[in-house]
Chain A
């Protein structure tokens, strides 16, 4: 029997927050942060694979709400819409049936359209988001209807066909901005100039709900390894392209938006790994990887979006930043987590994903075992770009540029950064059954996460806590021996001439624009250098434009109020539909 959740008091809490936010937005945000904590507590108490998503989402909501108290100067409408979206997410996450999930899904999505649309500079990001959002909903709804058709109930019960999983998964991955639908993620955030707090929930928790949907449908569905391979491959491509586009993006919010695509791709690849071998040790490890990745991504990305909200401007080369030490430290933790570096939670997640893929490849011993190897290699390449993208983000928002000062907003992402660091050392709780020790190496029991091919065969191991402790010990020892570092400041040496322009953020990534010119469609003209920000969107856009052109031509030529042509069209359409119905 699947667990039942009905935390009505949380829904009511968020509804009260919405009402209060209309009157006083700060009070509304305070209330929503309080109820996020209540939801967090609920998740911790009921603890299972599903409530891990509650914990992740509630942390994102909490920090975004607290940040919004300082951040929101967008007028009256942002706060109620923001909290309504959170309400929708809470309903979708705690739903026990398809109908509740869909209701929550739409309550979550519609305010997001409104936020992007109301904060408009241009119209099309909101319409594009809505278009793809509704395509996603139609697919999810179709999947759920198929499930209802086969089970006869709207409750989440075991399924005996994978078709609902396939259809709804494609619906969910559109929402997650997965290959080739990257546009769902980056367009509203970058071009729609979505506010930072909304970008955080759009990027972190909204895609988390989609992920939750996939995990839920996967756990309800029968084993489907082939679909797992497909999902894994799509995830791998998303990681590569997401990270590549993040690296070449020069937009303060566009970069993290593409990074989200990369993270979602990695999460999808781990779900694919689970689908391939669900009832095995590797499958369990893959599922825990999914949760860890979701944790790492949602928290760190929230922090990164909140940092982007503390800068003025959109372009890395022209932004104004107030810097302070704590902001730099927090930012370094966040971006190093997203770069997959230990001892952060992102480091554990990346290690865990690559271990899962390589273990699967090792254990499968078939022609198809090349798929996880190839996916793992593509992901590893993507992680390289992701690291470079994060270095660029932190360098140009917190380290190179800006002037020193006190920015209170920066405190929130800094706290998230510290949590991301500490969470790396408590990921042991996310891997029940995979934790042990090695006394010969001086590592106590409970401090190593082991990746295992079977209950007896270990593949690899990692200890984020020891890494953290060793970093601290070595730092202290160094400090104890050599004392406080002596800092010598000198004038900038610029080839013997006075300093002129600085190396720009655009230039930082231009090597890749040049090297991957064919992939990125790099065009150099006397007036500028252009790259495709998303080639898949350009193709879709081109097809849509051609289709519109064709439709117009068709309408003018054959549907120009000519009753004869209209009758012919009706008869042909009727025949095609009849044939399709008979065939299907």
Chain B
């Protein structure tokens, strides 16, 4: 059993949920201001940052004593209470387009759990295909961002090209490159189930091997942002040896029907996170190769009650707690992986230096958009 994080007024564990706050972490924030130290602001609007996020570095210059990440510069209030489930999905899948499948599938899983139904296997497999394609695309994007931080134009553009190819394939299968409108409680929209991914694997393998043979590149990652924390999730946890993965822990989505392994590494640094994400792409492709898409629908009568749906998003556990009454959303809480990864990132930056910052930041695969959200 492991602690995942705060989900509304609950603390979510890997196998249960407990009302109340999660156990306190021993974070003793050093608030003294020694001689020579000062705060240095980076963001919310600065070159190198993909989204608006405020970062305040406590530093002597170069050496980082402490870091505070403020993801709320673009706080979005999303009105979901009182909405029908299908209407709510339209908003939820747009919270973070890059993790659209993860958000909408976690939400629908919660609805299914409330309604006490076993998901139809063919629908579950289609959702797994979505999640794994999302993982591939996101992991490619993280590696692309790391290449960009190093100023490596060739792999950067090769990876962008590959991401575009994946997007087009997603669009052909599901009718939208960000899975918008593809998911609903009763089915998954499938337009073409015959799309193959062999070319993606072949091209990616070449780029990946070229990249990790580059000493200049890996020098920037090795030893950068080391964190070995039992409270971390997703690739961050797996890069430091923890075998944390919602795909193995949560049986709702039928991942047990597939043969795949969980890549792990033991360094806990940005390089470890790169390796884990890179190897995950091969494993995701292995899962995809085992999926045979069959269009199917399920009948679901949405009951009243509350439920929690959890998936393994590309950056770790993503969960929704949903309360439904008369088919309408009464209350909604989100546990976003980026919120937890921001905490892990902040811990890992201490004792690093400025120039390590972009590599370490990108290695966590944080999406600020899914943190600065308030459901009303």
- Residues of A that sit less than 8 Å from B by CB: 250, 317, 494-497, 500-504, 506-511, 513-514, 524, 526-529
Contacts and interface: CB of A to CB of B under 8 A. Distances in A.
B39 A528 contact: no
A529 B38 contact: no
Interface in B27-47: 30, 32, 34-46
Interface pairs A-B: 8 shortest CB-CB: A507-B61, A510-B61, A506-B36, A496-B45, A528-B34, A501-B38, A495-B46, A510-B62
B358 to A, nearest CB: 15
A227 B36 CA distance: 43
Contact of B41 (A317, A495, A508, A526): A495
24 contacts: A495-B41, A495-B44, A496-B45, A496-B46, A497-B41, A497-B44, A500-B39, A503-B38, A503-B40, A506-B35, A506-B36, A507-B59, A507-B60, A508-B61, A510-B62, A511-B61, A513-B62, A514-B63, A524-B60, A526-B30, A526-B32, A527-B32, A527-B34, A528-B37
B41 A510 contact: no
Contact of B42 (A250, A495, A511): A495
Contacts of A510: 36, 59-63
B95 interface: no
Contacts of A494: 41
A415 B60 CA distance: 36
Interface of A is mostly: loop
A496 B55 CA distance: 12
A317 B36 contact: yes
A103 B324 CA distance: 100
Nearest to A494: B41
Given A494-B41, A495-B45, A529-B60, A507 B36 contact: yes
Interface string B327-366: 0000000000000000000000001010000000000000
A501 B39 contact: yes
A507 B35 CA distance: 11
Contacts of B30: 526
Contacts of B34: 526-529
Contacts of B32: 526-527
A526 B35 CA distance: 11
Nearest to B41: A495
Given A250-B36, A501-B39, A529-B34, A509 B44 contact: no
B306 to A, nearest CB: 39
Contacts of A529: 34-37, 60, 63
B54 interface: yes
B42 A507 contact: no
Contacts of B63: 510, 514, 524, 529
Contacts of A495: 41-46, 54
Nearest to B38: A501
Contacts of A527: 32, 34
A513 B61 CA distance: 10
B315 to A, nearest CB: 25
A503 B39 CA distance: 8
Nearest to B32: A527
Contacts of B43: 495-496
A496 B70 CA distance: 13
Nearest to A514: B62
A497 B59 CA distance: 18
A509 B46 CA distance: 24
Given A500-B39, A514-B62, 4 more contacts: A317-B36, A496-B44, A503-B38, A506-B61
A504 B32 CA distance: 17
Contacts of A503: 38, 40, 61
Contacts of B62: 507, 510-511, 513-514
Contacts of B38: 501-504, 507
Nearest to A502: B38
Given A514-B353, A527-B32, A528-B34, A504 B61 contact: yes
A497 B73 CA distance: 10
A317 B42 CA distance: 21
Question: Which of B38, B42, B351: most chain A CB closer than 10 A?
Answer: B38
B268 to A, nearest CB: 21
A511 B64 CA distance: 12
Contacts of A506: 35-36, 60-61
A497 B351 CA distance: 25
A495 B43 CA distance: 5
